């Protein structure tokens, strides 16, 4: 993950980023690319809802396509992050992620005030991001040891999530969503802190990590709102 970044903000440089000015440049590029990545995500979600492609696949097949597609594209991003192809592949990945999110969005849109629930989840994700980003500037201690605990929690969350595909338990889904919000909120601090401390020096890798954090926070919030929204109908 720790790949060098050119001081001017372009990928492909082999020197180390150490100065505060260079770190700020990496962070700025990360924020810009993160904002840009929202465009294909929204487009992918719109295409998915309009065509119903993910809804037609069913939960099991959708999970397989998601895992194969997501990990395949993440591998491609890591292989090309120091080349000109890195950004287009990342944006293609965000389109795919939006497409896979369309199944949940479509279900929520079918509820009373579904669009309001989506906007609430979006606003909640924004508040969480701003809060965690602020904390990442305040915390001065080294958080590198925090990564392995978060990774273990993530693996356990994935295993439980796969199991719930077959169990279809609303109570377990709510529990997993709440835990996911906590884990990925902590990941936001961890990933931003790595950029601020100069441990992550490639803005494409940084954007990928933070995008996944935000994606999972939004998905978890929307799942909770959707479950409670459907119970009131």
Q: In the block, which residue shows the tokens 């990941």?
A: 187
Q: Residue 232's pLDDT band (boundaries 50, 70, 90)?
A: low
pTM (predicted TM-score): 0.87
User: Within a 10 A sphere around the Cβ of 232, how many other Cβ atoms?
Assistant: 8
| Per-residue model confidence (pLDDT) at position 217 | 97
Q: What is the pLDDT of residues 39-88, one digit of tens each?
A: 999 999 999 999 988 887 877 788 789 889 999 999 999 999 999 899 99
| Per-residue model confidence (pLDDT) at position 212 | 96
pLDDT at 165 over 50: yes
Q: Are 76 and 89 in contact (CB under 8 A)?
A: yes
Domain ranges of the chain: 20-231
Q: Residue 230's pLDDT band (boundaries 50, 70, 90)?
A: low
Q: Are 231 and 142 in contact (CB under 8 A)?
A: no
pLDDT at 16 over 50: no
| Per-residue model confidence (pLDDT) at position 13 | 39
Q: What percent of the chain has pLDDT over 70?
A: 90
């Amino acid at each position: 993950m720790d790949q060098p970044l050119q001081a001017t903000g372009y990928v492909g440089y082999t020197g180390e980023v150490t100065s505060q000015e260079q770190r700020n440049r990496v962070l700025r590029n990360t924020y810009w690319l993160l904002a840009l990545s929202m465009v294909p995500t929204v487009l992918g979600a719109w295409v998915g809802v309009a065509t119903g492609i993910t809804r037609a696949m069913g939960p099991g097949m959708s999970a397989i396509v998601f895992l194969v597609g997501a990990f395949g594209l993440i591998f491609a991003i890591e292989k090309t992050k120091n080349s000109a192809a890195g950004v287009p592949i990342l944006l293609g990945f965000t389109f795919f992620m939006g497409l896979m999110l369309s199944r949940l969005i479509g279900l929520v849109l079918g509820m009373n005030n579904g669009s309001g629930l989506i906007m609430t989840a979006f606003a909640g994700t924004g508040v969480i991001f701003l809060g965690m980003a602020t904390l990442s500037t305040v915390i001065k201690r080294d958080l590198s040891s925090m990564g392995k605990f978060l990774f273990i929690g993530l693996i356990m969350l994935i295993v439980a999530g796969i199991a719930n595909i077959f169990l279809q338990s609303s109570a377990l889904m709510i529990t997993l969503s709440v835990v996911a919000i906590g884990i990925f909120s902590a990941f936001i601090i961890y990933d931003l802190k790595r950029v601020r401390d100069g441990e992550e020096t490639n803005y494409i890798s940084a954007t990928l990590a933070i995008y996944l954090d935000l994606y999972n926070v939004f998905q978890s919030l929307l799942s909770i709102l959707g479950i409670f929204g459907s119970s009131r109908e």
